[in-house]
A and B are shown apart, each in its own frame.
Chain A
Amino acid sequence: MSGVFSPGRAKIKERTLRTDKWWLEPAITFGVLFSFVIYATFRAFEGANYYKDHLISPFYSPCLSEACVPEAVILGFAPVSAEILNFALSPALIILIFPLGFRMTCYYYRKAYYRSFWLSPPACAVAEPHTKYTGETRAPLILQNAHRWFFYAGLVFNVILTYDAIISFKSVEGEWGHMSVGSVVLTLSATMLWLYSLSCHTCRHTIGGRLKNFSKHPLRYKLWTRVSFLNHYHQQFAWYSLAAVAFADIYVRQVATGAWTNFYFF
């Protein structure tokens, strides 16, 4: 017997006496994240329908494989073979580790999936089912400390996805100065990704949180206060950006398959 049933503690047989719907939030989180994982896995392996008329799906950008649609490749840079060990490699699989790693090690998502997937704990003051717990002190969870590595990589991705959003302001014929629903969708996706990255706890620390003397670094202090403001909404940006990226991919896929027409405003 351990935990709340340990000898010496108040003898109460219930694992929790909470009367509110404490299970609702982890259940919703599980449902949404699991749905995203299923969809993202399907799309990552699909290897098609990711580009159409200057719109590229964020799941496939940057497109680094020789198998990429030529228009989707940035500056002709596609160094990765289309096949590895006779296995046709989807271009998404090459880059997926970076956004996936960034979200997996994110301080907010850690809370979300530790609660909803691993039940550690499922909710506050609700006894978890595990008999042992070592937290993030040993492999594999000690790798959560790699968040900063993924943060730096994520910034590079944000630059590339911003470039993709800018490119989407071209007409089908390639002329600048046009705007479609796709432009809005990709711009929104890139914007949300920037807000998610800039509100990140690692960003907050790197920009100024690590300082002992704010007064000696007034510029960094000012930046730190701005990032701290954004950081307050990090959870919201985590969800908004996830939804925006998923919708951007769905939109590009629908346009690429011909199911939807990309409407041009001008």
Chain B
Amino acid sequence: MIELPPVVLQVILNFSIGLIVTVSLNIEVGFLGLPQFGRLLAVLTGALVAAAVPGRILAAYLGLPWGAEYAYHLYNFGIVAKINEVLLQAPALSLGVLLFTLVLAALVGGLVGYLCAYPALRLREAYLGITLLAFGDLLMTIAWNYDPLVGGTTGIWVVDPFRFVGAGGARFTFATLFMLLVAATVYAYAELLARSPFGRTLKAVRDAEVAASVYGKDVVRVRTQTLMVGGAMAAVAGALWAFFTGSMKAATYTRLTWTFWPWAFMMLGGIGSNLGVLLGVFLYTVTRTAIIIYKGALSAVIPIDPEWLEYIMIGLIIVAVVLFRPQGIIPERPVLALPRSRIEAVREKLGEEGERGAGSD
């Protein structure tokens, strides 16, 4: 297997996860204009699925405790260690667990999106944003305190479907490349969506809801479907992150990391523009990694803990983008439904017909 330096891997990993979450946010915020301030909700849902479900199924299969005691931290460590030993020997099973969990996370995330449609159809702007934000925090509070689910404040270990390729660097590389693959798929899907009739419907609803409904577009259905798609994507990111970190503690899933940061990436790159989102996530990931690497050198120059520097930096980026470049680095452009060559061909054909028409007169 190719050995990449850990720094590069870290950048790719953070970039991939950030891209999935931000693309999902962009579909809801950029394409449809929903104030999605509760991205955390779907991400956390995905992480909870990954932490609670595959481990329990495997434990039941192996005859280990899988009920509420599975999440009890004194048992959990031993149970997960045994499951991981089995997974280590069985690549097919590992991949199966991985894919099954991602599909399940997407389904549950979609369901969460469906449930969010209830407030999303009744509330507007700031009210909706705050409600969705409250939902995310509510789920976090429940997961953090309800022990039988994922161990509450002690947290639990998550089964490791990446481990079969080897320990340490090999696992890291495999996990990173896998996430990059998922991120690329999600990105390609978002790009296709933007070019599809559905994508154009979203933007029509965003720009002129009344007009869209007059032309027969079912606005309620469009909103519900978008929330489901976005929720499913974000849940996949959450599940991947839980698998990669190998442990689950609900309190580490904050609205800052999983809602506000993706918002910042999206605003930096350009709301509504997929390529912009990609660039925004990339720029931010590289900068952040650079800050971490040059931590020592930085604190010698600026007497500020780099952790706080990061907050100040993200805050400044958001404020600067909002003030000076509200459309982002790569602004949203009308997406061409067909490749340019096809459009040119059609245009020429129409032109010929027009000339012929003019000649026959």
Asked if chains A and B come from one complex, the reply is no
